[in-house]
Every structure is written in C-alpha cells, then in structure tokens.
Amino acid sequence: MRNIWTGVLLLSALLCVWFSGCGHRKGETKEAEGEMGYTKISQKEAKELMDSGEEIVILDVRTEEEYAMGHIPRAICISHESIDESVEQKLPDKEMKILVYCRSGHRSAIAAEKLAELGYRKVLDFGGIMSWSYEVVKD
C-alpha cells in the first residue's frame, strides 16, 4: 500500500512540474517567451496599441509594390529581405516597440526574428494584412 502512495505522489509531483511551464501571459505564446525572441500578438492587440497614443513603429515588411497597393496608416516599408545591420539607420532605437506585419504572416515572422537577433527588444508580430479588418490606405 505504501508503494502505491509513493507512486501517486511521485506522479503528482512530475505532473505539477510538467504543467507549471505551460502557462503564458496574454499576448504571448510559449515560443515568444524564450525561443523566438519576439512576441506574437493578435491584430486586435496591435490595433489597440496603434490607437493608444503610445510611440510605436508600424513596420510593413512586404515589397514596395505591395506596400503601394495598400498598407496600414503610419506604416513604414522595409522589406524583410533587406533587414540586416543597416536597418539601424531607419530604426535607431532598439527599445522602441515595433509592430511587424506582412501579407499573410510568414514574412513578418522572419523579419521579427531578424530584428530580435539584431538586438531589438520590443518586437511584436501581428501577422498579415490579408486578415486586417481595420483601415488600409493606398499610395
């Protein structure tokens, strides 16, 4: 009987340890907490940040042609392919919140990872403009 209780206690302890790492903060995925270096947020959260009056950079990482066809107001365009050390000329403040998007979410994830690797500490990826239900402007 004692062996059964020891087994139950051991199993309970292991489950507690296992599940203690499963929680995450609102707006963050488990990957964003340490494996990716940037945070994934919803488009609603991105829009709330844009409307908050907080100083942020909205970064469109599509091509110039895609940007001209329609982009989020106040967004600047730096294609994901051109994000390297020279991006510091356009984005000198590595503590500034940077909201990153592309067309579908794939390129924004690549760009967000590159920015994090370059030392930008507040990179927020909110996916693609294809599912953006808020205002879009054209050049």
> What range does the domain containing 34 cover?
24-131
In sign, the C-alpha dihedral spanning 128, 131, 137, 138 is positive
What's the chain's average pLDDT?
A: 86
Summarize the confidence of residues 46-75 as an average pLDDT: 98
Number of structural domains (the chain) is 1
The question of whether 102 is a catalytic residue gets the answer yes
CA 110 to CA 98: how far, in whole Å? 14
90 lies in some domain: yes
pLDDT grade, residue 52 (50/70/90)?
very high
CA 93 to CA 87: how far, in whole Å? 11
Summarize the confidence of residues 102-130 as an average pLDDT: 97
Summarize the confidence of residues 111-135 as an average pLDDT: 97
Q: Which CATH number does the domain housing residue 91 bear?
A: 3.40.250.10
Is pTM beyond 0.85 here?
no
CA 11 to CA 16: how far, in whole Å? 9
pLDDT grade, residue 28 (50/70/90)?
very low
15 lies in some domain: no
3-class SS of residue 64:
helix
Q: Is the pLDDT of residue 88 over 50?
A: yes
103 lies in some domain: yes
